[in-house]
Amino acid sequence: MTARERDEAHRVASPLELFFDLCFVVAIAQAGVQLVHAVAEAHAAEGILYYAMVFFAIWWAWMNFSWFASAYDNDDVLYRVVTLIQIAGVLVLAAGVSEAFEDHDFLIVWLGYVIMRLALTIQWARVARTTEGAERRTALRYVGGVLLCQAGWLGLLLLPGSVTPWLFLVLAIAEMSVPLYAEKDFNTSWHPRHISERYGLFTIIVLGEAIAAATIAVKSGIDENDALGELVPIAAGGLLIVFSAWWIYFVVPIHAHLRTNRQSFLWGYGHYLIFASAAAIGAGLEVVVEQTVGKAHISTLSASAAVTLPTALYLLTVWVLHARYFKTGTTQQLVLPSTALAVILCTFLGHWAVLAAGTVTALSVAAGVVLGARTDSRGKADAPAV
């Protein structure tokens, strides 16, 4: 388990990592389905709470594997087998999502999480066995921290349901503190370009959930002929939102910004909001469809908010984490925050809310392109002649 070089050339995601990401689609889809049901039945607050909890387990397991693999992926037989065990844990967790939402029974989710986390401790134990000094201490801190937090998650099964949200908050903070403590003396050799690619691939996965929702809107329109005229604008608006979300995320070379652990921790942890909000956009589109065809017991305003609020959160989080570092001038800096505000205002436009939100986000992309082109042309004009 020798660490890979941080400046290794041509470092890209491996086929095993791509397979790992693909299997997370199942868990994300299950969380999204349960969020749709909760919001459509007018239990939005409870649904969002449990969605946040389940999505944290999904995201945190994925993130820990991704950063470990960026530093220590040696692709030997044992590494592959342990990673496949982690994938099995993801599938077990996905199987328990519905019980966690409906019955507040976390047994299956907990078992899936145990499988994933114990597999991770095996990987870190291998690092500790083959390294020495500060690097070995870091590996052992990871092993101890992961096991200690896993013991704490037993509280989800043993304590009353009324304390579950507070227990989750405490343990989530504890989980996120483990890397901060483990790497205080030694920074693992994660690869900036590789990490940015891994996060980008996961962003595509969660945006794919929204694409699926837009497809469902079209299919529902075909099945419900009377509502076709109302559902096509929803599908169009949803696609515009997803296309714009993809453009806004990938327009900047964020790997150039990831140079220190301090920057990477904020960027990596902040992606919880990016991933969760992107997946929630897809769930929101399904809610709007159900409300339009009369299957959801909520108002048009509430259904519209299920799309516009996560879209606004996504735009703001992307701007805070990396888009703002590549913008010059006040005008460019204000594009995404202003767009987020405009998307929220679209909530009050009734059945046209989703199409309006999609149009607004698409216009923000166009504005970014125009402003970026002007900046580039001005920079070339100011450049000295060669």
C-alpha triplet 140, 141, 144: angle, nearest 5°: 85
pTM for this entry:
0.90
Tens-digit pLDDT string for the chain (386 aa): 788 888 888 888 899 999 998 888 888 888 888 898 899 888 889 899 999 999 999 999 999 999 999 999 888 999 999 999 999 999 999 999 988 888 888 999 999 999 999 999 999 999 999 988 999 999 999 999 999 999 999 988 888 878 888 999 999 999 999 999 999 888 888 888 888 899 999 999 899 877 877 777 667 766 765 667 778 888 889 999 999 999 999 887 777 677 666 677 888 899 999 999 999 999 999 899 888 888 888 999 999 999 999 999 999 999 888 767 666 677 778 888 999 999 999 999 988 999 999 999 999 999 888 887 766 555 544 433 33
b (16+ CB within 10 A) / e for 292-313 = bbeebebebebbbbbbbbbbbb
Domains and CATH numbers, the chain: 15-182 (no CATH), 192-382 (1.20.1410)
What is the structure's pLDDT at 381? 44
Any long-range contacts for 175-178 (C-beta under 8 Å, 24+ apart)? 175/60, 175/149, 176/60, 176/269, 177/145, 178/141, 178/142, 178/145, 178/146, 178/149
CA dist., res. 315 & res. 210, Å (int): 15
E strand map for 42-87: none
